[in-house]
Amino acid sequence: MILDDLPTPCLVLDRGILQTNLDTMSRAVARHGVALRPHMKTAKSIDVARLAMASRDAAVGGITVSTIAEAEYFAAHGINDILYAVGITPQKLDQIAKLNAAGAAIMVVTDDLDVAGAIASHARPPQTLIEIDCGEARGGIAPDDPALTAIATRLGTRFAGVMSHAGHSYAGRSVADMRVLAEAERQAALRAVAHLRAGGFGIEIISVGSSPTALHAETLDGVSETRPGVYMFGDLFQAQIGTNGLGAIAVTVLASVIGRRPAERRVLVDAGALALSKDRSTQAVPVDYGFGLALDINGHPTLGHSIVSRANQEHGVIDLDPLAQLPAMPIGTKLRIAPNHTCLTSAAHDRYYVVDGGDTVVAIWPRVNGW
């Protein structure tokens, strides 16, 4: 099977680019002697998880997930050491307990005293990290908040450490920015740890990270692990904040031309808002790619700056680069579209058609979507 045989729209994953991205991150993290706990929320695939784990310096260490569906899926495939990194609710503890009773070792996170109480009083309480806000202003409590030791006390023997997420690193625009943000996150985590140690608490896990900070941190001294995710695939947004090169985007959407508007120098494709997502991340960075950048079927940037300017449910409108010499594109011509935000684009699709540089489909890897 070759790419030109595939039904469109669908997701194409280049295994060679993926492997390079995995190895780049593994080396970057190994410099610091901390564990790499890859976040599987982007790939949601056991095949990708196995490559990510094999790429690490040491065979030890678990993964991170963002949904209980992912936790169930990866546990069913034999990965036991899992951090579910979205604030737990009391109602979800039974599902976690069921997986742990079956052999998994899923840790959860909280920043709430009442939830800490619910965890401690559960019949099968999971190990729990306290979420620290290192500046993102989403989940977590401030490192100096007195609630920190109160939550740890309430968790009792279930308290296992702290977790932060430098999601605000996406506001950074350079390697220098990422170094500053990574250091601020490290300092925030360590300040929380200092308070906890002063209170007599033992700390097993100090978990930080995002792809750009994991890649560019100057030091992770004192930290025990980092949790990047999007680095595996890369995207147009991450390319502009220094995580990956434009040529290192591993996932693209294969689409067919379904309409031609030569007078307007436009083509329509069958990848619209559902196949690409409505994510407009690149609106905030120097080069705005609309809803994605059109590449040829081989994934090469031979179409210049031809971008998806409009995305209806199943229609994408591509504004063709006025300066590029373009081939004829009859109806049915296949293109590939690099995504703004690969996590959201991938989530619309139930599988990857895997290639390895060429146009031969060497594997089909399923994804675990939903909740």
- Which residues between 149 and 188 bind a copy of itself (CB under 8 A)? 167
224 vs 333, which CB is nearer to a copy of itself?
333
How many angstroms separate the CA atoms of 175 and 181, rounded? 10
In 3D space, the residue among 137, 153, 232 whose CA is nearest the CA of residue 188 turns out to be 137
Token duo for residue 268: 């329509």
How many angstroms separate the CA atoms of 82 and 65, rounded? 7
Among 178, 349, 353, 355, binds a copy of itself (CB under 8 A): 349
Residue at 271: amino acid letter: A
Among 30, 120, 194, 274, binds a copy of itself (CB under 8 A): 274
Decide: is 67 part of the binding site for a copy of itself (CB under 8 A): yes
- Which residues between 240 and 259 bind a copy of itself (CB under 8 A)? 256-259
32 vs 260, which CB is nearer to a copy of itself?
260
How many angstroms separate the CA atoms of 73 and 300, rounded? 34
Decide: is 117 part of the binding site for a copy of itself (CB under 8 A): no
Residue at 83: amino acid letter: L
How many angstroms separate the CA atoms of 306 and 76, rounded? 42
Among 3, 14, 36, 41, binds a copy of itself (CB under 8 A): 41
32 vs 266, which CB is nearer to a copy of itself?
266
Helices (H) and strands (E) counted in the chain, each on its own, are 11, 17
Task: Report, in Å, the least distance between residue 172 CB and a copy of itself.
Answer: 16
The enclosing H or E element of 21 equals helix 15-30
Among 81, 296, 314, 321, binds a copy of itself (CB under 8 A): 314
Token duo for residue 73: 């899926």
56 vs 168, which CB is nearer to a copy of itself?
168
How many angstroms separate the CA atoms of 186 and 254, rounded? 40
Decide: is 144 part of the binding site for a copy of itself (CB under 8 A): no
The enclosing H or E element of 28 equals helix 15-30
Task: Report, in Å, the least distance between residue 213 CB and a copy of itself.
Answer: 16
Q: How many residues does the chain have?
A: 371
How many angstroms separate the CA atoms of 123 and 125, rounded? 6
Per DSSP, which regions of 239-362 are E strands? 251-261, 266-269, 293-296, 307-311, 316-319, 334-338, 351-355
179 vs 310, which CB is nearer to a copy of itself?
310
Decide: is 7 part of the binding site for a copy of itself (CB under 8 A): yes
Token duo for residue 351: 């599988």
- Which residues between 199 and 228 bind a copy of itself (CB under 8 A)? none
Among 38, 139, 143, 299, binds a copy of itself (CB under 8 A): 139
220 vs 230, which CB is nearer to a copy of itself?
230
Among 35, 134, 268, 368, binds a copy of itself (CB under 8 A): 268
Report whether 37 contacts 225 (CB < 8 A). Answer: yes
Decide: is 361 part of the binding site for a copy of itself (CB under 8 A): no
**Residues making contact with a copy of itself (CB under 8 A):** 7-10, 41, 66-68, 86-92, 95, 110-112, 114-115, 137-139, 167, 256-261, 264, 268, 270, 273-275, 277-280, 310, 312-315, 317, 330-332, 343-344, 347-350, 369-371
